[in-house]
Every structure is written in structure tokens, then in C-alpha cells.
Amino acid sequence: MQSPLIGYFGYGSLVNRATLSSSVVAAFPARLNGWKRTWRPRPRMEGETVLPLSPSLLTAHRAPDRAIDGLLVVDGADRLGDLDAREFRYHRRDVCLSDFEFLAEVPQIDMRVHVYEARVELPPVDGPAPILRSYLDAVMQGFLREFGEAGLRRFVAETEAFHTPIHEDRHAPVYSRSVDLQSGEAELFDAVLPGPAR
């Protein structure tokens, strides 16, 4: 018997299909209304080993007059525990399918839909919290592939706190799900960033 399905909305690295589990059922580019996206120093989790480098992460928060692009991923409900483990720094929030706008027609699927929101009730880690270039490359590649160059530029324009410094690890990636860039992608990604974030 097939597992019931769930949906979750990726608005950062989960937009890049190369970072997803091979078991996902489907994925649909979409725009989630009522949310905004920002960079935030990662929360300090109880019992966590303090590392010399604790990168910032992307999170989303409810914001009535805002909207963000991303990927609605459909997966088996039996995979929810694995997803929660990947997103352990986040709270899982329920959203409604009616909150989404889709680029193309999407089949009617009976499922609960979630979005992950960083644990803002916890203090941020101590010390510098730069953006990992290897993580940013994975995110930007996902937006480019799903939404084109216009969507990539919209991702940058609609994401707050892009003044956060970048840790240059493109040639020795720290991010565990780093991706290989195609010809011209690195130059494009660097070009669309706001001045201070380059």
C-alpha cells in the first residue's frame, strides 16, 4: 500500500532538485503568499558543539503582504521524519494549498503541506555567521533552473539581510550538499548579488 503523501515548500536549498531525495514523488515551482524570506544566523541548539564557522541560513516568516518563490515538493508521508531531521533547526509549519500560486496546472493531491521556519526563539550562535558560498550556489542554481534569470534576480531582491558577508568556499565546499556549477553560472551568480554581499 502506498504511503500517504505530504507536501513541503522549499525556498532555499530545497529549490535545487539536486539536493532532494531521489524518492520524491513530484515537485512544482510555486509562489507562496503571506511569507517573506531572510538570512539569519543559525540558532544555537542545546548540546551542540560550537564550531569556528557557524554559517547563516535562510528562513521564512509569515508576512501578510509578501510572497516568495520556491518549490513545492511532494513526497511520501513516511519520509517526514527524515525531512524533520534535515531541517532540525526549524519548526515545521502547516500551510494551505490555497496560499500558493503555481506556474502550471498542478494535479489535485490530498495531502498536508508544510513550510519550515527557523527557531527564532533560540539565540543565534556566537561569533561570525557568514553565508556559505557553496550553499548560496546550490540555492541560486535551483532558482535559476526553476524560474530563469528573472526568478534568480527576484530571489535576491526579495531576500532580506543579503548584506551578510560571504564565506568563499566554492573551491573547497563546506556545505554538505554542494553542487557542480555549469558554465557561466558562477559569473552570473556573482553578478546578481548586491554590492556588499559579493
| pLDDT for position 60 | 96
Q: How far apart are CA 189 and CA 176, in angstroms?
A: 20
Q: Tens digit of pLDDT for each residue in 34-56?
A: 999 999 988 777 666 555 678 89
| pLDDT for position 2 | 60
Between 31 and 54, where is the model more confident? 31
Q: Average pLDDT, stretch 73-93?
A: 91
Q: How far apart are CA 122 and CA 125, in angstroms?
A: 9
Distances (CA, A) of 70 to 9, 102, 142, 166: 7, 10, 9, 22
Amino acid at 189: F
Residues 6+ apart with CB under 8 A from 44: 122, 123, 124, 125, 126
Q: Tens digit of pLDDT for each residue in 120-157?
A: 888 787 778 899 999 999 999 999 999 999 999 999 99
Q: Which of 126, 113, 27 is nearest to 77 (CA)?
A: 113
Q: Give all domains of the chain, ordered by start, each with its CATH number.
A: 5-192 (3.10.490.10)
- Percent pLDDT > 90 in the chain is 71
For the chain, the first-to-last Cα distance in angstroms comes to 50
| pLDDT for position 1 | 44
Reported as a pLDDT band with limits 50, 70 and 90, residue 62 is very high
- What ranges make up the beta strands (E) of 79-193? 90-95, 100-102, 111-118, 131-132, 159-160, 166-167
| pLDDT for position 47 | 62
Check whether 188 has a pLDDT greater than 90. yes
